[in-house]
Amino acid sequence: MPEMTENTPDRARTRFPGISSRAYEHPADRSALVALRSLSGFDVVLRKLSGLVNERSLRLMFLGGTVRVGDDQFHHLNDMVRDACYILDMPEVPEVYVRQDPTPNAMALGSDHPFIVVNTGLLDLLDDEELRFVIGHEVGHILSGHAVYQTMMQILLQLGSRLAWLPLGNIGIAAIIIGLREWFRKAELSSDRAGLLAGQDLDAAKRVNMKLAGGTRLHEMSSEAFLQQAREYDAAGDVRDGLLKFLNLLGQSHPFAVIRFAEIDRWARGGEYERILAGDYPRRDDDGGASVTDEIKNAAKSYRDSWERTADPFVGKVRDMADAAANAAGGLFDRINRRNGS
């Protein structure tokens, strides 16, 4: 894996020395990550479990069947990755592979030495600034360690399929997977913020979601109309429609495009983005002192704020249950941490 050098981006962008992933992580994602990191030995266990998915075999598969990005192959993409790592101060530049696949997608894989895979469908869909946002998004996944923690869900999915024959065995696993998928959808919002920090072009971030929803014909689309579409989706119908939206999301790994569009717009205009650009952000040197209880409270507040903003009538029906769950989670991790510290 090549070492990062401090090359200057092709246009002036603010760099964030020592930035912690906590700076951009969605509160629900951040609280889960801080809680898991606080458990003694948990990262070691996860990395051992991730060994069940042979990372070396996976890398060899991409090395043999795709194009590895470098100075001589997809050099513009190589420059973008190095720029994103420079801006977000990531210690090592991950390898990147381009895969022939018309589906517009990119992903970060691996745990010990994560790498990025970009489909040709994404390269064909996006311009350079939009692609820069996506690369920053994937670097954000790596900086947060999402690839390591997603191993849990892969193992649980495999376990769930093996327990499907039991009358109740798969129900508990399914409930955990539903919770994990909600977490990972929030992780996607976190990485969208990392993408914006890397590219520092809000319009490009918005265009990515518009193109993922409607293709390349931006002249046929309007950012204001797309944002209004997000508002209509949020407020759509009665309790039945709210339940249907909830059920539609259960199997999704990503939030819907209109939701991501609205969320990145809200975050960019809410003051936090500007504070980070001004140099006011948490440093990774202080990650060890992050409070689990405080982050869980922040996550609960984030959900309450979103519930207060939403016009979805279904949300009001589950608000009290979610508040109780968040409080119970805070108490659980407090007890575990006290036991580990004793």
Predicted confidence (pLDDT) per residue in 136-177, tens digit: 999 999 998 876 666 555 566 666 556 555 555 555 566 666
Burial of 182 (0-12, 13-18, 19+ CB in 10 A): middle
Quote the pLDDT of residue 2. 45
Asked whether residue 235 is domain-assigned, the answer is yes
Quote the pLDDT of residue 338. 57
Distance (Å, whole) CA 288 – CA 276: 20
Quote the pLDDT of residue 148. 64
Which one, of 248, 217, 193, lies nearest residue 21 by Cα? 193
Q: Phi first, then psi: what are they for 283, rounded to 5°?
A: -100, 150
Quote the pLDDT of residue 184. 77
Asked whether residue 126 is domain-assigned, the answer is yes
Predicted confidence (pLDDT) per residue in 28-76, tens digit: 666 655 555 554 555 555 555 555 556 777 889 999 999 999 999 999 9
- Tell which wins on pLDDT, 182 or 115: 115
Distance (Å, whole) CA 76 – CA 63: 19
Query: Which residues make Cβ contacts (< 8 Å) with residue 271, sequence separation at least 6?
Result: none
Quote the pLDDT of residue 9. 44
Asked whether residue 228 is domain-assigned, the answer is yes
Quote the pLDDT of residue 293. 57
Asked whether residue 311 is domain-assigned, the answer is yes
Rounded to 10 degrees, what is the CA torsion of 240, 258, 268, 219? -150
* Dmax (CA) of the chain: 62
Residue 265 confidence (pLDDT) above 60: yes
Predicted confidence (pLDDT) per residue in 197-239, tens digit: 999 999 999 999 999 999 999 999 999 999 999 988 887 666 6
Asked whether residue 6 is domain-assigned, the answer is no
Quote the pLDDT of residue 235. 79
Per-residue H/E/C for the chain: CCECCCCCCCCCCCCCCCECHHHCCCHHHHHHHHHHHHCCCHHHHHHHHHCCCCHHHHHHHHHHHCEECCCCCCHHHHHHHHHHHHHCCCCECCCEEEECCCCCCEEEECCCCCEEEEEHHHHHHCCHHHHHHHHHHHHHHHHHCHHHHHHHHHHHHHHHHHCCCCCCHHHHHHHHHHHHHHHHHHHHHHHHHHHHHHHCCHHHHHHHHHHHHHCCCHHHCCHHHHHHHHHHHHHCCCHHHHHHHHHHHCCCCCCCHHHHHHHHHHHHHCCHHHHHHCCCCCEHHHHHHCCHHHHHHHHHHHHHHHHHHCCCHHHHHHHHHHHHHHHHHHHHHHHHHHHHHC
Asked whether residue 223 is domain-assigned, the answer is yes
Query: Which residues make Cβ contacts (< 8 Å) with residue 88, sequence separation at least 6?
Result: 16, 19, 136, 139, 140, 143, 194, 197, 198
Asked whether residue 34 is domain-assigned, the answer is yes
Which one, of 114, 122, 121, lies nearest residue 141 by Cα? 114
Asked whether residue 74 is domain-assigned, the answer is yes
Tokens of 329: 């989670």
Quote the pLDDT of residue 183. 74
Predicted confidence (pLDDT) per residue in 2-19, tens digit: 444 444 445 689 999 999
Range of the domain at 270: 23-341
Contact 302, 30 (CB under 8 A): no
User: What's the structural domain count of the chain?
Assistant: 1
Location of structure tokens 């869900």: 153
